[in-house]
Structure formats: C-alpha cells, structure tokens
Amino acid sequence: MYLADQTWPDLGDYVASESVAVVPLGSTEQHGPHLPLSTDHVIAESLAREVADRTGFLCTPTVNVGVSPHHRQFHGTMWVDAPQFRDYVESLTRNLTYHGVDRVVYVNAHGGNVQHLREVGRRLRDDREAYCVEWMWDESIPELVEELFETPGPHGGPKETSMLLHLDREHVREDRIEDAATGGCRRFPEDADTIRHGASTFYDAIDNTDNGVLGDQRDASAEKGERLFEAATAQLVQLLEWVDAQPFEDLMPKPHVE
C-alpha cells in the first residue's frame, strides 16, 4: 500500500490493524558517466513499493536527497548535511508514530545514509517511540553479488548498473559503459592507493576515481539486475514479516543488569 495514493479513511483502517511502515531513502548524486543521479532513490523506491504490493504493508514517499557531500565535486550532486538529515528522518518517523506506526524499516540504497539512519533508529528506540531498522539492498544478498560479479564496486559498479538496466533502462547511457569501466577505479581499494598504513586517507569519491565510479560496469546486464531485484525483495519481505511478528517490548532496549 502506497501512502500517498490513499485517502485518510483508508489509512485509518490500516493503522487500526497494522503498525509497520517502510520508508525508502536514497540520494541524488553522481553515479559516473553512464548512470543517472537518481540511481539510488530509484532502487530504494522500486524495492519498497514492490514489497508493499506483495505484503500490504505501508510504503511512504521516498527521501530522494541524502548525505552525499563526498560526491560534491561532480556536477548535479545534491546533499543535506548529516545533522539535518538525521533530524528530518527522525521528524518524519515521529510523524508516522503519531498515526499509530511503531515499526519502520528504512529501505536504503545509499551508503552515506547508513550510519545516520542507525543513529535515528537508536534515538527512537531509546525514547520507546518505535523500532526502526536500516536495510541496505546489496548487503542482504552478498552471496548473489559475489556470484554475479568479479568486481562489483561499492558505487556505480555493475550491481547498480544491472539494477538500473532492469528498473529504468531508458536513463542508462549504455554507450558510456565502456568509458565508465576504463575511466574509473576497477578494484577498490586495491587500485585506489588511498589506504595507507591502516588509514583511509581519502574523504571524497574523486580522491579514488576520476569519473566517479568503482567496479567494472561491463559485467552488468538487465537479466542480472532482475535476479538482484528479486532476491533483495525476498529478503526484505522476510525482514518485514519478522519485524511485524515481534512483540513490541521485545524490540525495546533491555533493562540494566542487576
């Protein structure tokens, strides 16, 4: 069920019997010369709306701009600073709790959001307002990613390229995939030369890759993207069913030991 398509009486019926919502979050940032800036939020929204259709759980509108200052040197990248992002997501989630939702899965497709979503989840759990957990699609299916790609890359690589070929092929510049592969950093961090003596000496994506991408995009295909999408969707369905089945008290912080 997609929240924005419903009337308020319809949503009243939902919160009378259900207490779970999914919130998709991504970014609007560079993904190399071949993928649109919408890559992350397209993936997040597609997964969230698919599981909402399959399970009947509530899906909110997507948070399209995330914590992306590390991509700022590339044209068009948008970002919000981390404190404002955390406060916004917390406020949005408290809005859901006001209407009766007390379990939220953040369907996330941008690595820069991860730690901040975890912090928001901790705040709300400590306040006993809600149980909120961050979920990252590729981290739910590591075996399949490893099976499909020799060099998947953490950003703009073949796994994200495959997902976009499956979900939004119209906006993939397929004629630039070769340039993306040859102009980026194929193996990270081995080829980046920015890990020294145990320290990550980089702060921005451009410190590692001239064209903004990591991995070998030539491994991508729409068929692989469909496999990734279906496998990740299955994992998300199982997570939502688990969250829904837990007694609320079991999801709250444990008491101090005596």
What mean pLDDT is predicted for residues 76-82?
A: 98
Query: pLDDT at residue 191 above 80?
Result: no
Q: pLDDT of 215-245, one tens digit each?
A: 999 999 999 999 999 999 999 999 999 999 9
Contacting residues for 158 by C-beta, under 8 A, at least 6 apart = 148, 149, 151, 152, 215, 216, 217, 218, 219, 220, 224
What CATH number is attached to the domain comprising 108?
Answer: 3.40.50.10310
Give the total number of structural domains in the chain.
1
Q: Does 139 fall in a domain? A: yes
56 band by pLDDT with thresholds 50, 70 and 90: very high
For residue 9, cis peptide bond before it (omega within 30 degrees of 0): no
Q: Is residue 258 part of a domain?
A: no
Cα torsion through 256, 91, 50, 10, rounded to 10 = 110
| 257 domain-assigned | no
**Among the ranges given (25-29, 39-43, 254-258), the one the predictor scored with the smallest mean pLDDT:** 254-258
pLDDT in tens, 58-77: 999 999 999 999 999 999 99
The one-letter amino acid at 206? I
Tell whether 117 is covered by a domain.
yes
Supply 15's token pair.
Answer: 């919160």
Give the pLDDT score at 148. 97
Q: Which residue has the tokens 């901790």?
A: 122
DSSP-derived letter for residue 61 is P
Q: Is residue 256 part of a domain?
A: no
pLDDT band, residue 143 (cuts 50/70/90): very high
The CA distances from residue 184 to 86, 211, 255, in Å, are: 31, 5, 49
- Containing structural domain, residue 126: 3-251
Strand partners, 59: 2, 22
User: Using an 8 Å Cβ cutoff, are 33 and 180 in contact?
Assistant: yes
Residue 16 covered by a domain: yes
Of 221, 217, 216, 222, whose CA–CA distance to 191 is shortest? 216
pTM of the predicted protein model:
0.94
CB atoms within 10 A of CB 135: 23
In a domain, 8, yes or no: yes
As a whole number, mean pLDDT of residues 101-112 equals 97
Q: Does residue 76 belong to any structural domain of this protein? A: yes
- The set of residues, in sequence order, having a beta carbon less than 8 Å from that of 235 and lying 6+ positions away, is 140, 141
Question: Tokens 């397929």 appear where?
Answer: 174
Specify the higher pLDDT residue, 190 or 140. 140
* CA atoms within 13 A of residue 19's CA, in its CB half-sphere: 16
